[in-house]
């Protein structure tokens, strides 16, 4: 092999070696975005996939997901005994990870809709006699995150109003 070909080959391989980390980082970000999108759809299957991953995070460690949560923030996690903890965790997961990717504003409405779908699915598991109160609270929690971006906007009077539906 002549010297010019060898030199060109070395330059080409060096250039590829320099570009490879940025290509790999971009592919990882795209993969993280794709997985995040799959886990933040309004379907029960999407929520089930997220929950399965939440319970077994090891296979997803390389994605660098933020699994932290404050559940329903300063609002009750179990208002009137309705367990909203997983729905709030799923919502926190979407908010935190889309913010990390820098695509929060483009995905906020969908994550809020996922939250509402999760809450309604949870309410469907309760007896028909108390379901209206649960759905009323689900709507209130959804409106708080949809309008204000936080569950801190839920007033105790909203919970009292839902409680009156049970009596």
pLDDT at 97: 98
Burial category of 63 from C-beta neighbours within 10 Å (exposed 0-12, middle 13-18, buried 19 and up): middle
- Is the pTM of the predicted complex or chain greater than 0.75? yes
Domains of the chain: 27-166 (1.20.90.10)
How large is the angle between the packed helices 104-123 and 131-143, nearest 10 degrees? 170
What's the pLDDT score for residue 167? 79
Q: Specify whether 90 is catalytic.
A: no
pLDDT in tens, 101-137: 999 999 999 999 999 999 999 999 999 999 999 999 9
Q: Quick check: 119 and 131 in contact, CB under 8 A?
A: no
Q: Which of 24-38, 40-54, 147-161 is predicted most confidently?
A: 40-54
Question: From the candidates 32, 90, 91, 131, which is the catalytic residue?
Answer: 91
């Amino acid at each position: 092999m002549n010297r010019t070909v060898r030199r060109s080959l070395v330059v080409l391989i060096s250039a590829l070696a320099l570009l490879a980390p940025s290509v790999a980082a971009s592919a990882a970000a795209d993969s993280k975005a794709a997985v995040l999108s799959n886990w933040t759809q309004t379907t029960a299957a999407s929520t089930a996939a997220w929950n399965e991953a939440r319970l077994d995070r090891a296979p997803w460690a390389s994605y660098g997901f933020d699994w932290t949560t404050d559940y329903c923030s300063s609002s009750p996690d179990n208002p009137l005994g309705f367990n909203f903890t997983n729905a709030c965790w799923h919502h926190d997961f979407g908010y935190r990870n889309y913010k990390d990717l820098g695509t929060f504003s483009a995905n906020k409405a969908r994550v809020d809709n996922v939250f509402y779908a999760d809450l309604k699915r949870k309410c469907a598991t309760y007896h028909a006699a108390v379901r209206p109160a649960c759905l009323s609270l689900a709507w209130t929690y959804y409106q708080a995150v949809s309008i204000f971006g936080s569950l801190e906007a839920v007033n105790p009077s909203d919970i009292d109003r839902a409680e009156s539906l049970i009596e």
